Amino acid sequence: MSRQALESFINRQVGGSKALLTLFEPLAARVGSMEYTDMLADPALWSANLAKTGRLLDMDGLMLGLDPEICLKPDAFAIAVDAFSRMVQTEQNYFGCIAAMAGPLTLAEKMLGNADQVAELKSQTVEMAEAYCKNRPDILILREGRALGGAHIGMPHRKAYNTLKNMAAYYSVPLGIYIEDYHQEVIPDLAKLKLPFVFFGADQEGKAPSIAALKDLAPEVDGIGVPLDFKDPEQARQQAKSYMEELQGVNFLFTNLRELDNSTDLEATLALVSDLRSIGS
């Protein structure tokens, strides 16, 4: 385990071993023997538990801040930024450090009740994203759900993302999107956002994106996070093998279909990770 595989992904070096970048903040609280809400209230413990879990799971990167609710409370968001700053200082030589926050459409839906009002939160969204970018994450990921994945991507959506992309470029931080609860038909539209990286969770039916859709999107982006179903390790192994066979020449890494939580079978997950290292090499 090292950040080398993730660096290769970011730099579009296709030939090496596939990086593993999974979502596991709820599981990190369990590993740290505490409640999830208690972990998110303490920046030192939040950062330390993520690093501890990342080492246990043999990950190439740590992702902090994925819970969209964090962005709705200024105090909670300030703690997240503090935790991320600590993680960068102590872990970035060893892990890729990925900052995450709710995407602009999800924020508009949650705060204003309408994703189409995304422009009204422009300043607030940029301010939050910049707080992370000042700590130089390897990638800043914006988490979106049905607010983006359930409708046609139009000009207001593209403008919101272009504003964030321009800000992040000032800090030389690449942007990515983690999208879940989407229609498969929306996948080609994601190219319109002109983001370097797209990471997929489960669609509205709980499924992964089709191989054909990934192949079509690949030329339009720098890299793709392809999801594996960690709750069904045997299926995850087969998915990984299919990606390796069908996506030759595509820059991708392995991520998970859903977050690893406190119900995760650690023994089965560790065995799966070991096999993924072999499959992805």
Give me the long-range contacts of 85-94 (CB less than 8 A, separation at least 24).
85/43, 85/135, 86/43, 86/44, 86/47, 87/47, 87/50, 87/51, 87/62, 88/135, 88/136, 88/137, 90/47, 90/51, 91/47, 91/51, 91/54, 91/62, 92/3, 92/138, 93/3, 94/2, 94/3
pLDDT for 151 beyond 90: no
Rounded Cα distance between 176 and 113, Å, is 24
pLDDT at 157: 92
CB 140 within 8 A of CB 169: no
Whole-angstrom distance between the N-terminal and C-terminal Cα of the chain? Answer: 12
Give SS3 for 119: helix
User: What's the average model confidence in pLDDT over 209-225?
Assistant: 97
Give SS3 for 172: coil
Average pLDDT of the chain is 95
Give SS3 for 226: strand
* pTM listed for this prediction: 0.95
pLDDT band at 121 (very low <50, low <70, confident <90, very high): very high
Residue 115 is given by DSSP the state: G
CB 39 within 8 A of CB 79: no
CB 130 within 8 A of CB 122: no
User: What's the average model confidence in pLDDT over 26-46?
Assistant: 97
pLDDT at 3: 87
- Report residue 63: phi and psi, to 5°: -115, 125
